[in-house]
Structure 1
Amino acid sequence: MLRLLGRRTSANVQKVTWLLTELGIAFQMEDVGGEFGGNRTPEYLRLNPNGVVPALIDADTSVWESNTILRYIANRFGPTHFYPSDPAARAACECWMDWQLGTLNLCMTPLYVGLVRTSPEDRDAEAIRRHHERASSLFGLIDDTLAERPFLAGEHLTLADICNAVFACRWFALCREERGVRPHLTRWFEAIEARRVFQDHVVMPLT
């Protein structure tokens, strides 16, 4: 059985538990990171030298970095529409996966830390305003894309949507006034939000 090391409140862990459940793949969850600790031990660092969660253990194979784990699962247990085999369709999916890591993360993570993990008296209001403005613009880009298709990479839910919907969930939880502002983003998110697996693995209190 696959072992997944991480904590269920981590956005990057949620991506993985969501996909595993969608594909009906059994896994054993082991609490690591955050309040559980254990992610800086020599044992864990041998599995994931970056010292963050998640790490996926498949027999003698250790995989880290959440989006790489998603690709590994799709390749290991596929083929699946979550990760298209056609080169052009796969590239469309991977563009949005890389965009989430390299662009959306750069404002959503500090916005989350500033609003959830920083006490009110220690918050940097200007930095929060700046990250909120940038995130709003980026979710506007998603909205523009979804005006032309039901999902980010085309007609079907893919890894592109899994990566970005986890952060859309946080965006709407942090900034409730944004809910419904962009019609295509809202339609896409509400369709994903209605999935039982999303409710079970992604919708939870922010910590």
Structure 2
Amino acid sequence: MLTILGRASSINVRKVLWLCDELSLPYQREDWGQGFKSTHEARFLALNPNAMIPVIKDEDFVLWESNTIIRYLANAYQGEWLYPTAPRARAQVDRWIDWQATELNTAWRYAFMALVRQSPAHQNERLLAAACKGWTYTMGILNQQLEKTGRYIAGDRFSLADIPVGLSVNRWYETPLEHANYPAVRAYYERLTGREGYVKWGRNGIP
């Protein structure tokens, strides 16, 4: 039985949970992180010295780093339909998974902490304005890509990349800031609601 360590409210944990639903992969989950068991406990640090969630235990195999986890699970549990083996097709998927982790995550971090988490350390008006502008610009890149593909981030079929990207799109629309008019992103957001895993883990059950 696969074990997932991490609270379900974490966007990175929800990547793994959504993928498990797509793969019909059974698992058990343990609550770790903010509000639950501390990731600084010795038994957790023995699994991940970074004290970050999620961590998975697949029998005697332990793995951390969410995007690495979803790649591993797709490889290990017949997820070729999500994560193709052909080098060029896989590279297209990998590119957008990595872009989400580097460019998109970086773009939304300050604004999310300020506007959703209400973090006292993230209330500088100048930095918040710059963060919102940067996030909007990065979402514009996403809109351009979706205009090209017409459906999903890496092409006309749903892929592994749509899990981290789709969750980030959910974060964009659920954060109270002025949203630019990006028709392709909005259509993508609505398209994803046809997937049970996204309704459960992406839009937090909001139809």
> Do these two structures clear the TM 0.5 threshold for a shared fold by scoring above it?
yes
Residues 182 and 30 of structure 1: CA distance in aligned 2, closer, same or farther (over 3 Å):
same
Greater CA deviation, 18-27 or 103-112? 103-112
Is the aligned partner of 1:44 residue 2:44?
Answer: yes
Q: How does 1:32-111 map to 2 (within 5 A)?
A: 32-111=32-111
**Which amino acid is 1:161 matched to?**
D
Q: CA deviation at 1:148?
A: 1.4
User: Percent identity among equivalent residues?
Assistant: 33
Q: CA deviation at 1:202?
A: 2.3
Residues 92 and 27 of structure 1: CA distance in aligned 2, closer, same or farther (over 3 Å):
same
Report the RMSD for the aligned CA atoms in angstroms: 1.8
Q: Distance in 2 between matches of 1:141 and 1:122?
A: 25
SS in 2 for 1:164: helix
**Structure ranking higher on relative contact order (CA contacts 8 Å, 6+ apart):** 1
Greater CA deviation, 120-129 or 147-156? 120-129
TM-score, length basis structure 2:
0.93
Q: Distance in 2 between matches of 1:190 and 1:184?
A: 10
Deviation string for 1:20-79 (max 9, x for gaps)?
A: 011100000100001103211111111111111000100110110000000010011024
SS in 2 for 1:189: helix
Residues 59 and 118 of structure 1: CA distance in aligned 2, closer, same or farther (over 3 Å):
same
Structure with the larger helix share: 1
Structure 1 regions of 5+ residues with no counterpart? none
Q: CA deviation at 1:85?
A: 1.0
Q: CA deviation at 1:156?
A: 1.1
In the other structure, the counterpart of 2:118 is 118
Cα contact 1:6–1:53 (8 A) shared by 2: yes
Q: CA deviation at 1:120?
A: 7.3
Residues 62 and 146 of structure 1: CA distance in aligned 2, closer, same or farther (over 3 Å):
same
Tell me the number of residue pairs that the alignment of Structure 1 and Structure 2 aligns: 204
Q: CA deviation at 1:117?
A: 1.9
TM-score, length basis structure 1:
0.93
In the other structure, the counterpart of 1:10 is 10
Q: Distance in 1 between matches of 2:187 and 2:96?
A: 18
**Which amino acid is 2:70 matched to?**
L
Cα contact 1:39–1:51 (8 A) shared by 2: yes
In the other structure, the counterpart of 2:165 is 164
Q: Distance in 2 between matches of 1:26 and 1:14?
A: 15
In the other structure, the counterpart of 2:190 is 190
Residues 42 and 194 of structure 1: CA distance in aligned 2, closer, same or farther (over 3 Å):
same
Q: Distance in 1 between matches of 2:148 and 2:39?
A: 42
Residues 124 and 193 of structure 1: CA distance in aligned 2, closer, same or farther (over 3 Å):
farther
In the other structure, the counterpart of 1:144 is 144
Structure 2 regions of 5+ residues with no counterpart? none
Q: Distance in 1 between matches of 2:24 and 2:88?
A: 27
SS in 2 for 1:105: helix
Q: CA deviation at 1:121?
A: 10
SS in 2 for 1:93: helix
